[in-house]
Structure 1
Amino acid sequence: MRYSKFKKHMLTLSLVSLISMIVLLFVIVWHLYSAILKERKILIHSQVDTVMSLMHEVYEDTLEGKLTKVEAQHQFLEYIEKLKYSDNGYFWVLNTKGVMLMHPYNKSSVGQSLIHSKDKDGKFFVKAFITTTQHSGSGFVSYYWTKPGDDVLAQKLSYVALFKPWGWIVGTGLYVSDLNREIVSQIYIGLLIIIGLFLLSIFVSLQLYKRYLTELREVAIFDRLTRLYRRSYLDEIGPRMLKEEHSLPLSVIFFDIDFFKKVNDQYGHNYGDNVLSAISSIIQKELLPHKNVFRYGGEEMVALLHATEEECRMFAEKVRFTTAEHVFHYSDSEHFHITISAGVAIASPQDSFSDIVRRADRCMYFAKARGRNKVVTESEVRGLPDE
């Protein structure tokens, strides 16, 4: 069908829109992931800085003689062991030899050297802590570690800082899986929103498609003045109707308004349009239930119907009589009548559609030649030379 390409274009546009929205979602999520990761890195950095400030305070107390070094270290470890932030935020302390001095969740490791400890990827993460802090004083280290209350290893990003007076390394970190889970939930929410918006856009597009397709179809196949089908649609549907299996043959009635040029010349083309529109309405009404009526060109109109020659004559005579009886009121004092001539042709098995139209047109010209306001059928003029 002629509108199938339009439908495919709409489907393609919808799919492109969906893919674009999904791509945009992942771009946004990637930037969101980067932003959240940056924010969390700042968070653990600031948390360690806060703890380091606390360590400096208790260290100052030892310099002032308020606390012994052992008391200060014990007080510090006891305090930050209970210090928590966020969901899984905690601190741990080890020395530069890799001995764990405090860990709130892994008590068995306290007092043990973890210098040779490796994660599941074979990384010596404790050595990485020591190397990072000795080179830069502080920094980030990525490795795998068990989450509190969970035996499964999870990727962790920690920030570690060295307190040189004591040779202690303080660290805290974030579990990347928590961040990933947060991002995945954002993706699910985003996808649900996108799917919802996509389905809404599809629904709206289909409604608009149906509406504008109807309007486009009307523009394409209906004559705006007469509301009859256009000739282009006659050329499309006529051959199809000729091929259809039907108990009655396809027939063509060819109408032409008599002396229509005089109407235009005397009353103007605008009123001529009114006359043409009125006669088109008469043809449509009198030919019911048959609805295939076309404006062939100018004041010529064609009707297609499956009927016998006698039935076609009857329909055409009804149109002719009603048209002749109709009074056109140009003004309060000026009225006039219009007549119409018609030719009828019936399809034969060997005919093409253009053959039938041509023969109906010929019959109509016989009606004109015989005085107009007449209906002439093909059987009446078969074998006669053109007049």
Structure 2
Amino acid sequence: MRRWATFLTLASTVALTAAAPAAPVYSEADFARVPKLDAHVHANRDARDFLRVARKDGFELLSINVDYPDFPPLATQATIAYKMHAADPKRFHFATTFSMDGFGGKDWTAQATRAVDAGFAHGAVAVKVWKNIGMIAKDTAGKRVFLDDPRFDPIMAHIQARGVPLIAHQGEPKNCWLPLDQMTTDNDRTYFSEHPEYYMYKHPEEPRYEQLMAARDRFVARHPKLAFDGAHMASLEWSVDELASFLDRYPNAVVDLAARMSQVQVQSNANHAKVRAFFLKYQDRLMYGTDLTDSPPDPKARAQNPPATGNFAKEADDNWRSDWRYLATSLSQPIAAIKADAPGLALPRSVIDKIYYSNARRFFHLKG
């Protein structure tokens, strides 16, 4: 019944949109002059290249520290974030995190609390939890840990008391549980081919997609006053209807679009009006993000999502301009990840301003 109600609401929005006069939209030429904020990046290199290209293209950045084996150690990520924030506090923001090492032990909560407080002391505006919770991490007794585990309650209460949002990457794209030839995007095929430890189709003994989403939903329901950012479209990137239902159920939640634009484009190519209506209806709950990652050069580095090219400044500029063309204009463009052209959504300027800037600044309590 809830899905049917969501469908009817989206359908009525489509009808109203079709009947309404066209709102002013931006052009490609407006890209660099409009204030924007990429609310999901990873600055893993002690260099100013990321800030330079962000400044040129009119972006602020939210860099997210995460306990990811392909990234530098957490202490190194923290040092880089502190330095870059100090160098340009109005343009470079960051999220801190904590390690899952020793979870379930008597000292873990105190250690996690010290870790996030150190980040807050240096200016962190959010805390990140990663997909290792649910997919990898085990407690000191060797049992798999899920986000709804009540042993997280003290650290979450501490984060909430500080008035800081939680960013949660839970699960993976639904493609992760499909054979390669059934995946909807090439970027997912490449990423999971090179990260078999996260490719759940190859691990039927591991938790299913539905289990991970259910644990995440129980967590959000149990912490209704904790501001919650579902990273990567809350891993509901495959269906704007499912994402609409999630947002309707949990008013404390927002989502970012990081590394999931191609899945949105698959849907808009199938039903352009419905996807555009979704963006219009939930314009206050969506934040632009890319997952762009500036890491030290590594000849053995595996595929990232979005793909790394070896020329980071061009990679960032190309990603940002492609997404702007899709979201802000009606122009079509070839999208390699889906082997098709994707016409733009031409969202009104007021909606673009929210998704690209004001939603993130409000949600993360950014000043200045």
TM-score, normalised to structure 1's length?
A: 0.21
Larger radius of gyration: 1
* Structure with the bigger percentage of strand: 1
Specify which structure has the bigger relative contact order, considering alpha-carbon pairs within 8 angstroms and separated by 6 or more residues: 2
* Structure with the bigger percentage of helix: 1
TM-score, normalised to structure 2's length?
A: 0.21
